[in-house]
Every structure is written in C-alpha cells, then in structure tokens.
Amino acid sequence: MDYKILGKDTSPEALKALSSKDRAVLCDELRDKILETVSQRGGHLASNLGVVELTVALLSVFDYRKDSIVFDVGHQSYSYKLLTGRFDKFDTLRQKGGISGFPRISESPYDSFDTGHSSTSISAALGMARARDLDKKDNYVVAVIGDGAMTGGLSYEALNDAGHSKTKMIIILNDNEMSIDRNVGGFSKYLQGVRISSGYISAKATTESFLKKLGIVGRFFIKVILAIKDFLRFILYRKKPSMFEDLGLNYYGPVDGHNTEELIKSLNAVKDINHPVLLHIVTKKGKGYAPAENNPSDYHGVGPFDLATGVVKTGKGSYTTAFAGALTSIAQENPKVIAVTAAMCQGTGLESFSMKFPSRFFDCGIAEGHCVTMAGGLAVKGYIPVVAIYSSFLQRAYDEMITDVCFMNLHVVFAIDRAGFVGQDGHTHHGLIDLSYLNSMVNMRVFAPRDYKDLRNCLYYAVNNCEGPVAVRYPRGSSPFEAEGPLYELPEDCIKPHIAQDFGSDFAIISIGKMCREASFAVTELDKAGLSGRHINLSYVKPLPIADLDKALHGITTVFTLEEGIMSGGVGEAIIRGLGALNKGYKVYDFAVKNTLIKASSPEDQLKTAGIDGESIRTKIECILMQKNV
C-alpha cells in the first residue's frame, strides 16, 4: 500500500510540522498498517488501535531522540515503532529475526525501557527522571499506563514515591473503560478546557509561587483556594478531589484520547510543570475496527485473522482448554473448589467456569501477589483455590507463594499456563524458570503433564488427592498426543514414571512433561541408527519418585534428562542428585535451556535454538554414546 505520510520522513521535526489534516491522515494510515500486519502475523490489536492518536500527539510534542517515553506492558507500542524508524521492518513483527511486539532497548535507541509485564512504567520513568536531574539535563520523561495496569500495586508504590519526591515527569493514564461524554459535557467540558490551557497553568503556578513567599499567611490562602476549588469541582462533577492529587500529583483530565489536536494542546500545557503531572485521557480499545471495538478482549492478543470479516483462524485444541474443561468438571463434583486468576479470565480459559460458578470465581486484577495471598486466605478456611496464572507472570508472586502458602502448607493449586517457550511474545513471556523456583519451595508438589489426558489426571489428583501446595505446569498450544477415553482414568498413575518407549538398554531418556514428543523422536531415530534405548516420561517431578525411577531404568546407567526449563535448579539437576545418592553408577547428562533470552519465533524454532528439539537431542546423544565431540 502506498502511504502519503507513513513510511516517509517521520523525524521529530517532520512530525511536529504536520498540519492537523495531515495528522488525521497519518492516524488512518497507522491503523491500516497495524490491521494489515496483525491480521497476517497475529499480535496485540485492540490496545494498539486505541492509542494511535495518543502516539501521534506524543511524537508531535516530544523528541523521541532525547525524550524518554515508557509504554507500560509495551503491547501498545506498534504505532510508536512505525514512527521511530521501523516502518520497513514492521512486516517482520513477532517473527524470527524480526522486530519485537514490545519495546526493546536492543532493537532501537528510541525504546526507553524493555517492557512486557504490567505496572512497571511509572517506576521506570521515575528512575529516568531522577537520573536526568542528577545529570542536570532538561529532557522530558513520560510514562504511558493503561487503566488495567493500575490494578497492579507496583503502580501505586511508584505514584506515591513520585508525588512525595515532586520529581518532574508526566504520567498519562489511558482510560479505555468509559466514554468521554460521561465525565465531560457542556459547561464542565468548557471549564476542563480552560484548566488544561497553558495560560491557566502558568497563572496557577505564578499565584502559588507568590503566595508561598508570604509564609504562613500565604499557605493559609493556598488552603482556602484549594478548598473552594474542591467544592466547585464537587458541585460541577459530583466528584471528590482526585486520589492522584492526594498523592501529590497535579491531575488534569479527562481529555478525549482520540482527538489528536486536543491531546497536543494538553501535552504542551503540562509538559513544563515542575512537578509530577498525571494527564487522564479516555480512549476506546479497538478504535477504528468494529470487531475489535465490539469485542476488545477477543482482539487483545490475537492470532492471524480475516481482515474483512474479523474471523480468527483457529487451530487445534489447547492445554488451556483441556485445563478449563477439567476444572469445571472437578468443581461440579467438589463445591470447595474455587477458581482464581489475575486479570486473565479469558487467557487461562476460565470464562466458562466464571459463568457456571460465578460465586466461586475471583479475578483479582493485575495483582499476582495479592491473588496468591488471597488464595491462601481461602485455603485457611477450608476451600481449595485453583490459581490460574501464566508462568511468566507468576514470577511476580514468588514471595507470597513461599510465605503465604508454602510455609503454612496450605492446599492451594497453582495452574501454571504458558510454561516453557511461548513463541512470538518472546523472552519477557517465556515460562522457563518456574520449575527452578518451584523446586526451591518447601512443601510444594509439582506436576508437568505430557498431554491433555495427563493434564486432566494431574489436575484431578492435585485437587482431590494432595495436601498442601501443588503446581501443575503446562505449555501454550496444542498437545502432540491427544488421548481418547474417560476424563479421569486412573489419576494416581500420574505420580509414577511412564515408560513411553522401550527399544533396548543402551541408554535412557527421562523427559519432563510435553518434552515427551522431542524425546520420542530422538529415541526412535537413534534406534534406527543402531542405538537402542528406553524413553521414560515424568509428570510428577517434585518430590521426585526416585525409587520408582530407579525401578523403571532397570539397570540402564547412561541416562539423559530433557526439560523445557532452565538448567540451573531444574528437574535434571534434581535427578542427578537423586540417582547419584543411590550409588549405582548412574551417569546422567542434563539437557535443558541455558539461555532464557531467546527472542520471538515459533516455539518449535525456540526449542531448536535452545538445542533441546528432537533432532538436536538425537545428535547430542549419538555423539556422547559414540564418544564423538558434541
């Protein structure tokens, strides 16, 4: 597509020089490019469509070569990337060797901070603002945070610090949950326009400065003026003073987040205030594309879809849907089962559960630590909370898992979705360290099911046959081995080693969870080459069933372990220690991930990059057994 402005000169000077008409054209072109690319590649759609005008306004006011703009989570940075030198590479979005779906310092000098998790922008921006002041520089620092990220406690810690310190910075609160007309209409809208004008702000600052010089008398008049202002605001808006002002920030808004010219006016008015400013803007997720506007959750993180109809191209079933169906079935039998998540009802597959058992479902918002401790409170009172959170995000509740669940040996079940490599979202979303930190937690039991049937059995066993904390970790995507049969068939089998293949006694591979697929390929190919071995799959990995594992090995002493997690502290290391303690001459080789910074591509390619795909394992084992160089 031939664009009038997009893809041409988008230097800070060129963007500032655009007319209002050209800025409107640019916004349309950005939406077209984002829709075209995401429909083919997948990605975060609704959030990006919602901040097009904001991004154009930001880059029309600030200089991206020296000013710092920090996007919270970062999944809404597509327009920013297109306008900061990455238009020609945008078709590689979230592909191997391409640009990331999130800001990355390693990708561009204009990305201020690596993001991917929620509620971090204000903290990072405050640090940058303090660094600027220490360096005696005058550049601007802006944090862009969505209302969803404001459910995270870290954002309030940062707001409190910023307000207390009075450090100059701008926080843009992108509120995409309500209409602008609900808050601003008629005379109140006019007054808001006056309040956000540079003349008003300048007069306000001059008046405050003069009154402060009068000492006690001046401070008294300031309090009187503020009280009158709060009273008038309550009369006009039926609103009490802003919480943000109570924290020490200058609050302005709400402003129409889809009116580029109004945004530019507002940003120019507040940018030189020598205190932290919070500019409240109102936007609509999915703006400009009806399917995304009507169903923003469905188009939050979306796979390839038909641009004309909005129909998403669906694939096979997934571990997530298998978990969701099993949990709903278990909860039907056991009224003590509760489902808990952290703003991931749809992502973790709990929508059907929430509709069937609304009183037994709790979404705690983007607050993983609170989510876990709240589940501990439920468990203390006899309920069985199943906490469903992505592996990458559960890291944020590490302390709460230890102190508020494990130390008290509370029966909380952690359903850890997206364990292992996740594909196009890249390294900030990989679930590669959960096995390592779960192994360090007292009283914790850990399951890593290999397929849907095994997942259902592990979950059933974790809920109904265990005491204390239990984790069931499973990957993103579809299972290589879909099993037919009853929903729960001998669930106690999930705690025993499973002999998946038995060709001979030259060696044995112990695979963890879904790595059963890669191990099966390696064992089969090695057998064709005359090296016959046994493949044992483990679903129950903590505490390790060492006696049963020793029995399953049945005299084979050359052993290879295979897991989709980091090597340090992983299951392989635990197997080495456990088998070594038997003093039976076991020689164990540990195959796991050594580098967690593996970037966006397909999960299959990420396994290959890590050297733990079936072909890489086959080659490594052959070299070791044939005493070649690995």
Residues acting as catalytic residues: 285, 368, 396
Separation between Cα atoms, residue 533 and residue 531, nearest integer Å: 7
Instruction: Find the helix or strand (DSSP H, E) in which 526 lies.
Output: helix 516-528
Decide: 449 and 326 in contact? Cβ < 8 Å: no
Q: What 3-state DSSP class applies to 432?
A: coil
Instruction: Find the helix or strand (DSSP H, E) in which 39 lies.
Output: helix 20-41
Q: Exposed/middle/buried for 516, CB within 10 Å: 0-12, 13-18, 19+?
A: buried
Nearest to 244 by CA among 127, 324, 164: 164
Count CA atoms closer than 13 A to 457's CA, side-chain side. Answer: 21
CA distances from 81 to 10, 78, 502 (A): 11, 5, 52
What letters, b where the CB count within 10 A reaches 16 and e where it falls short, cover 381-396? Answer: eebbbbbbbbbbbbbb
Angle, CA of 615, 616 and 621, to the nearest 5°: 100
Q: Which amino acid is at 333?
A: E
Residue reference for tokens 């037919």: 484
Angle at which helix 121-134 crosses helix 153-165, to 10 degrees, equals 30
Q: Which DSSP string do the residues of 109-152 spell out, in sequence order?
A: TT--S---STT-HHHHHHHHHHHHHHTT----EEEEEETGGGGS
Q: What 3-state DSSP class applies to 315?
A: coil
Angle, CA of 57, 63 and 65, to the nearest 5°: 135
CA distances from 74 to 117, 390, 590 (A): 8, 17, 35
Decide: 73 and 117 in contact? Cβ < 8 Å: yes
Decide: 451 and 395 in contact? Cβ < 8 Å: no
Length of the chain: 630
Q: Which amino acid is at 222?
A: I
- Phi first, then psi: give them for residue 265, nearest 5 degrees: -60, -45
Instruction: Find the helix or strand (DSSP H, E) in which 384 lies.
Output: strand 384-390
